[in-house]
Chain A
Amino acid sequence: MKKKYNSADIGKFIFVIGIIVYFMNRSSGNMGYNWQWYRIPQYIFTFDSGRFIPGLLFKGLGVTLQITGISLILAFIFGLTTAFLRLSDSLIGRITSRLYLEIIRNTPLLVQLFFIYFVLGPILDLSRFTSAVLALSLFEGAYASEIFRAGIVSIHQGQWEASYSLGLNTFQTYFHVILPQAIRRILPPLTSQAISLIKDSALVSTIAIYDLTMQGQAIISETFLTFELWFTIAGIYLLITIPLSLSVNLMEKYFRVDI
């Protein structure tokens, strides 16, 4: 369905933007803050006689991407496994998955991160990177599992019966019948979860991992370019998360065409 816009709508839009710009101007005028944007580029990257030199923020971005990349895959695995266990006939499976879900979902990520790094870390000999990835993927995996479960149970019971009567076993039914249909329904909430993971990864700075946020904090502590740097960091997070949203939009369209 194509949406139509009329001139009144556009007028309202411009009005709202106008108000926002007015307030931003006013507050920055009142703040008496001395903006020094010209000191920022050196922290992103510079060119020295044609050679690319990554700045501290650029290196931090690398660490953030590494952590979120691995955590995304792990969270996906944790989530799917937990969802299957919760829907399985095994009592132990159901209890453990339920326990995992409730503990993780009802405690703050920061506490989990500190617990894994400072308490479990020395016992299990976890490195700082492993602790960070583990905490993030366990946390997001719990949320992902509920999304998976909701998607799976939303598929009509008749599909199961039909599959079984065709002689498919449970695994084949999941793989060929249920999941392909469920994926379409769970893609939007799953994308939100992935984006949350990227933003939540900023918390790993608290255990001194030099990700994007930590690099920013370290630079701020030396230069006091507080607002310039935080805005730059927010911009860089946007640069990663927006393409992710857009690519999932494309995927949604692709899956729709498929049926």
Chain B
Amino acid sequence: MKKKSLFLQILVTIMVLFFLAGSSYAGEIQNKLVSESTIEQVLKRGVLRVGMSTFVPWAMKDKKGELIGFEIDVAKKLAQDMGVKIEFVPTKWAGIIPALLTGKFDVIIGGMGITPQRSLKVNFTVPYEYSGMSIVAHKETAKGFSAIEDFNKPEVTIASRLGSTAAEAAKKYMPKANHRMFDDEAQAYQELLNGKAHAVVGSAPTPVFHAIKNPEKLFIPLKETFAKEAIGFAVRKGDFDTLNYFNSWILVHHSSGWLKEREHYWFETKDWESQVQ
């Protein structure tokens, strides 16, 4: 009997020791994760660095050279809520993910559509906005085209921006067409204006703006947008603290209606146009 209780005592002591060691170890990891998370780094630094790419009306330069747009409002509000300053890091679209991965900035807020391929390299937040693709066509080369099937032919050339979700959507919805990709959207639209492409696929509402600007050459063949896509912030993989903070932030501003109100201002009104032209 005595022997047994001694054995039990030792067993309990060992278990308690293991438990203590285990819990302190877990606590250490937790502390480490928190202190190394991007959000903690941002608070320490006092500056939130946001990677973005100019993209009307998501992010663009106004007459004074200041950045304005839907995304810029979102990033500014985010920094304001965190109580830090904001720094925008304009980056070429094709290099934006590698720049995030190598720590050139903390988060991509750049109208980036959530895709399975991209999710293999970065973590996305819940969507803060949805965008659709629209298509603008040339009046001569694409005369009478009115459906996606009209564009899905080998003799049709479709221009888009390299690496954008628009390029992916164009390939997916018009696999038979001839796709031509440019570094910048401006070049894709120039190609269309020169009549060397039948259409440009881009995130709404940019194609519509171009059609309005060049009514004698371009038209909108489809009334509705296609390939609705979810837009999220992108952060480095494995940083769940940061991801969680951003998710909560987006949730809060969805419920408060602030995101909806900004979306209405930038996408459905033209009140901001005087700031640009």
Contacts and interface: CB of A to CB of B under 8 A. Distances in A.
Interface of A: 31-33, 114, 118, 121-122, 128, 205-208, 217-218, 220-224, 226-227
B9 interface: no
A128 B180 CA distance: 12
Contact of A221 (B94, B121, B191): B94
Nearest to A205: B183
B97 A226 contact: yes
B187 A207 contact: yes
A192 B181 CA distance: 31
B118 interface: yes
Given A33-B101, A218-B181, A226-B97, A206 B187 contact: yes
Given A208-B180, A224-B98, 16 more contacts: A33-B101, A121-B196, A122-B194, A122-B195, A128-B196, A205-B183, A207-B187, A208-B159, A208-B182, A208-B191, A221-B163, A221-B181, A222-B117, A224-B121, A226-B95, A227-B98
Contact of A31 (B95, B101, B182, B191): B101
B98 A226 contact: yes
- The interface centre, meaning the residue of A32, A208, A223, A226 with most chain B CB atoms within 10 A of its CB, is A208
B204 interface: no
Which applies to chain A's interface (DSSP): helix, strand, loop or mixed?
Answer: helix
Interface in B94-151: 94-95, 97-98, 101-102, 117-118, 120-121
9 contacts: A32-B101, A33-B101, A118-B194, A121-B194, A207-B182, A217-B163, A221-B94, A221-B181, A224-B98
In this complex, the member of B95, B162, B180, B195 whose beta carbon has the largest number of chain A beta carbons within 10 angstroms is: B162
B167 interface: yes
Contacts of A224: 97-98, 117-118, 120-121
Interface in B45-89: none
Contacts of B117: 222-224
Given A33-B102, A205-B183, A227-B98, A218 B162 contact: yes
B13 interface: no
Nearest to A221: B163
Given A208-B180, A223-B117, A217 B195 contact: no
A207 B180 CA distance: 9
B182 A206 contact: yes
B102 A31 contact: yes
Given A118-B194, A206-B187, A207-B187, A217 B162 contact: yes
Contacts of A118: 187, 190-191, 194
A224 B120 CA distance: 9
Contacts of A218: 162, 181
Contacts of B183: 205-206, 217
Contacts of B190: 118
Contacts of A223: 117
Contacts of B159: 208
Interface in B138-192: 159, 162-163, 167-168, 180-183, 187, 190-191
B38 to A, nearest CB: 12
A205 B181 CA distance: 9
A131 to B, nearest CB: 11
A217 B94 contact: yes
A191 B167 CA distance: 39
A53 to B, nearest CB: 21
Nearest to A206: B183
Contacts of B97: 224, 226
Nearest to B182: A208
Of B95, B101, B168, which is in contact with the most chain A CB atoms at under 10 Å from its CB?
A: B101
A71 to B, nearest CB: 21
A121 to B, nearest CB: 7
B118 to A, nearest CB: 7
